[in-house]
Structure 1
Amino acid sequence: MSRVLIIAGSDPSGGAGMARDLETLALHGVSSAIALTTITVQTDAGVTATHPLAPTLVAAQIAAALVGGVAAVKIGLLHSADIVAAVVQALDGVAAPVVLDPVWRSSSGAMLLDTSGQAALQQALIPRVSLVTPNLLEIAAMPGCAAAAAMLLKGGHGVGVQAVDQLWVAGTLRAEFSRPRHSGTMRGTGCALASAIACRLALGQDLATACEGAGDWLNTRIAAVSVKF
């Protein structure tokens, strides 16, 4: 069974973060390894507390997870520049594809990555990942996302009947994926999409196929189930 390493924060409500990532891996039949970066206290109503783990502890978790080998890595909430640096160092030399969801703030608007963390993400991590998956708000706050080898710019925060995701590779628009836009605000969609892409890369799909398939899967889930993403 293919194995994906999830590096992310917790969400006790299960709506986002590590819980949503692990659910996505299970639905794709992919096994998991984990490294927790931040403990959060949040519900659908908002985030009331965050507690980052020590960067050395984050790095030690990653090292332990890599012992068994992984076919892909998905990164979510990193909280601070120190944790970003620890993750960069811990993943040095890892050949597996790395998908980064550049978590900046929660759906409710709470800041989850401080200013120095945003700078570190853009300068030290984004140029090293295989794919970054910002939404329109995240690319506005962190334009350095475009420096990744590939970027899936998500159109969910746009307007119009269709939501259009754009796949950019080496600064060139390679593909667009258009799907019906769903009304309402849902949590954890970014987590689920990035994890689904990582799963598909781990299973051997090429980047464009993985991005399109993951987006179609998520769109179907949102339309068909009552659980909030």
Structure 2
Amino acid sequence: MDTPFCACTIAGSDSGGGAGIQADLATFAAFGVWGTSTITAVTAQNPGGVRGSWPLPPEAVAVQIEAVTAGFRVGAFKTGMLADASGIRAVAASLPAGVPVVVDPVMVATSGTRLLSEDAVEVLLGELIPGAAVVTPNLPEAAVLTGVEIDGPETMREAGRSLLAMGAGAVVVKGGHLPGEPADLLMDRDGEVLLTGQRHPYAVHGTGCCFSAALAASLARGMSVREAFVETKGFIDGAIVHAVPDLAGRRSVNPLWRCGMGEEWSG
């Protein structure tokens, strides 16, 4: 029996649907990939902020991964919000060997709420980033992970080299926090690829989750990391153009734009 392309997101639940598990599963669907999930935390949030967050116990995280891998041939994993050190250890111990993992080192929500405890950063560096197929930090996350103060492309490269030295197969340093034209930098053992994008006049909730999920979906479909990066960059630009407004006019990323949802929300 043929089985579908399959990916698994390991992340927190976002009740507003704009990030986390909900955005990841929508992204997988947009790529024609069957989405499975492991919930690490339940959050009460919308694009305006996080009202509460409750991590799941590590044994609940581990058994979800075990259930998924027992039932499906997972082509790629993506990690997002992992909440605390015990959750990270549970994930690292449960991931099967030989399957690419995209690590999105989620630390702070778009609204500013901290989503990863400070003591968990060292565990993330020691147990999950080594061996990851791709690590996808934004600039503040890259600075915390590497100690590099990032102010432009050269310091993005310095942070990328540091993460490669920690054992990651590739690094995408996302440059959306820099002034001017946004640019994302992929660095791997063979060199680098720098892709620029358009600056939009509004903030969008969930872009980092959608970006890493799109990478994972592309890898699950058999693309190389570089092919996946190019595909993801074009996809995320469209997801931002067609971002979904809430009642207050705040916007969430729209992974379903390629399925025809959101034309009326453009701009």
TM-score w.r.t. structure 2 length? Answer: 0.81
Q: Provide Cα deviations, 1:152-172, integer angstroms capped at 9, x if missing partner.
A: 001111111x211111114x6
Which of 206, 209, 222 is the aligned partner of 2:240?
222
User: Residue 188 of structure 2 is aligned with which of 162, 169, 172?
Assistant: 169
Q: Which runs of 5+ in 1 are unaligned?
A: none
- How far the C-alpha of 1:141 sits from its partner, in A, is 1.3
> What is the letter of the counterpart of residue 177 of structure 1?
L
Given that residues 38 and 78 in structure 1 are in contact (C-alpha distance below 8 angstroms), is that contact kept between their aligned partners in structure 2? yes
In the alignment, structure 1 residue 46 sits paired with structure 2 residue 49: yes
- The corresponding residue for 1:25 is 28
Q: CA 1:88–1:138 in 2, change beyond 3 Å: closer, same or farther? A: same
Matched residue of 1:220: which SS?
A: helix
Match of 1:120 among 109, 118, 123: 123
8 Å contact from structure 1 (residues 98, 130) kept in 2 = yes
Cα drift, residue 178 of structure 1: 1.1
Contact 1:17 1:188 in 2 (8 A): yes
1:149 aligns with 2:169: yes
Superposition misfits of 4+ residues, deviation over 4 angstroms? none
In the comparison of the two structures, how many residue pairs are matched? 226
Show CA shifts across 1:207-229 (max 9, x none): 11101111111102212344522
**Is residue 2:56 matched to residue 1:77?**
no
Report if the CA contact (8 A) 2:133-2:169 is conserved.
Answer: yes
3-state SS in 2 of match to 1:216: helix
Tell me the distance in 2 between the aligned counterparts of 1:111 and 1:221.
24
Instruction: Answer yes or no: is the 8 Å Cα contact 1:134–1:145 preserved in 2.
Output: no
Deviations 1:177-201 (A, max 9, x none): 1111222211100000100011111
Structure 2 Cα separation of the partners of residues 84 and 130 of structure 1: 17
Is 1:10–1:40's contact at 8 Å kept on the other side of the alignment? yes
1:174 Cα deviation after fit:
1.5
Q: Which amino acid is the alignment partner of residue 167 of structure 1? A: L
CA distance in 1, matches of 2:231, 2:91: 28
Structure index of larger Rg: 2
1:8 alignment partner, SS class: strand
CA distance in 2 between partners of 1:32 and 1:120 (Å): 27
Amino acid at match of 2:231: G
> Which stretch of structure 1 is more off in the superposition, 39-48 or 2-11?
39-48
- The answer as to 2:198 corresponding to 1:183 is no
**In structure 1, what residue type is equivalent to 2:133?**
S
| d(CA) in 1 for partners of 2:203, 2:10 | 25
1:105 aligns with 2:108: yes
Q: What is the distance in 1 between the residues matched to 2:69 and 2:138?
A: 29
TM-score where L is the length of structure 1: 0.95
The Cα shift of 1:44 comes to 1.4
Q: Which position in structure 2 is the counterpart of 1:13? A: 16
Q: Which runs of 5+ in 2 are unaligned?
A: 147-161, 246-251, 254-267
Amino acid at match of 1:7: I
Closer/same/farther in 2, CA of residues 216 and 112 from structure 1, 3 Å limit: same
In the alignment, is the contact (CA less than 8 A) between 2:79 and 2:101 conserved in 1? yes
Q: Which amino acid aligns with 1:25?
A: F
Question: Does the residue aligned with 2:32 lie in a helix, a strand or coil?
Answer: coil
> Does the residue aligned with 2:195 lie in a helix, a strand or coil?
strand
Q: Give the match for residue 138 of structure 1.
A: 141
Offset from partner CA, 1:106-156 (integer Å, 9 cap, x none)? 001101000111111111110121100000011011116442221000111
